[in-house]
Chains A and B, each alone.
Chain A
Amino acid sequence: MSKGQQFEIPPKSNEPRNIEAVLEKGEIKSVKELEGYGDMQLVGIQGGGDALFRPNQETASVFENTGKEAMASELEEMAFKVDEALGFGLVPPVAARTVNGVEGYLQQFINDSQVAGLLEWRVIVKPEELAKAAVFDYLLDVRDRRGDSFLINPKIGKIWLTGHDYWMFWNENARSDILREAQVRGLNCLTPETRSALERFLPCIDSLTVEAKKEVATILKKAQERAQLILSEGQIPA
């Protein structure tokens, strides 16, 4: 990891109690530039392990050119908060953060899992995980979910969903591979767990929408309608 850069020093306060708080306020120990487009960095945080940092500015033009007000960090935070409201535990913790003067967001780095496309993920994945992830992708109308864009823990078949950016929501040509696989396997039916999750989620919509940019509010409003549809039909519609 590279050292000697000017990191932020957070104000002294009570110790962060959870990963999100660590991502938001924890002391940054190291920053490593990653090879590849987007100026992403791997950031070491005191007491919080490592996190991927994604600058907002790298995709700002895509949002601006299409008349959208939202930023990448707001979409990923929305995805995390929806997952949190559902209680699914699919989206790694996220926090908006400025690193070396650049605005963006930090997301916990998952080092016990691999990119699903590297594995026979359809064989490895736990059916319960697939069912939950399918509900999540349906609620948010996630598009660009492919084996290259989510993680799976090969030992326990657990899914991690990441990369909720512009193209995840507005790639009109794409459909979620997770949703498709769940439907093919008949895992689109409501289970007691997913029913409880949706019932937990619906009352949270208003609080999630407070001060949200219009695109985020639109996605959440659609998620509310879709949650109600799943509950009334007992399954994710075809």
Chain B
Amino acid sequence: MIELHYVELFEIDRNEQQKKIATFRLLDEDGSVVEIEGDHHHPIIEGVMGEGIFDYKYARPGKLYPYDGMNFLENLKYHFRSGYLLATDVEKQVIDN
């Protein structure tokens, strides 16, 4: 059994419908790097990968990137909080090997 932690990112389109644009996943076995499922050329995804996000939770200096694992995952909901873009809190899923 493997524990998977993930965050989903949604965008509101011009028809005021939410659509998912990415899922950020962290496998517990691995533990270290967040994988991004979605269009890696999407400007928002490119921005997060290239520029990182702030550590809102602990207010530590510097930026967080997918290789920062859970720290990165936990802060996505603070980074994407405008409503026009919204990330979920970290969710957990247990999957069979």
Q: Which A residues contact B (CB, under 8 angstroms)? A: 34-38, 40, 42, 50, 52, 54, 109, 111-112, 114-115, 117-119, 144, 147-149, 151, 162-163, 165, 167, 171-174
Contacts and interface: CB of A to CB of B under 8 A. Distances in A.
A173 B56 CA distance: 9
The 8 A-B residue pairs with the shortest CB-CB distance, nearest first, are A36-B86, A37-B77, A52-B83, A37-B89, A163-B82, A35-B10, A115-B84, A40-B83
B23 to A, nearest CB: 12
A50 B83 contact: no
A33 B8 CA distance: 16
B16 A147 contact: no
B10 A36 contact: yes
Please indicate which of the listed interface residues A118, A147, A148, A162 has the most CB atoms of chain B within 10 Å of its own CB: A148
B80 A167 contact: no
A67 to B, nearest CB: 14
Contacts of A148: 44, 47, 79-80, 82, 85
A117 to B, nearest CB: 6
A118 B86 contact: no
20 contacts: A35-B20, A35-B88, A36-B10, A36-B86, A37-B88, A38-B77, A38-B81, A54-B83, A112-B14, A115-B85, A117-B43, A148-B44, A149-B82, A162-B83, A162-B84, A163-B83, A167-B56, A171-B56, A173-B59, A174-B54
A118 B14 CA distance: 13
Given A37-B88, A40-B86, A117-B47, A171 B81 contact: no
B88 A111 contact: no
Q: DSSP class of B's interface residues: helix, strand, loop or mixed? A: mixed
A168 to B, nearest CB: 10
B62 A36 contact: no
Interface of B: 8, 10-12, 14, 16, 18, 20, 43-44, 47, 54-56, 59-62, 77-89
Contacts of B89: 37
Given A36-B86, A148-B47, 13 more contacts: A34-B18, A35-B18, A54-B83, A109-B16, A114-B14, A115-B44, A115-B82, A118-B44, A147-B47, A148-B44, A172-B59, A173-B60, A173-B61
Nearest to B78: A167
Given A54-B83, A115-B85, A148-B79, A34 B10 contact: yes
B11 A115 contact: yes
Contacts of A171: 54, 56, 59
Contact of A117 (B44, B56, B77): B44
Contact of A38 (B8, B47, B61, B86): B86
Contacts of B86: 34-38, 40
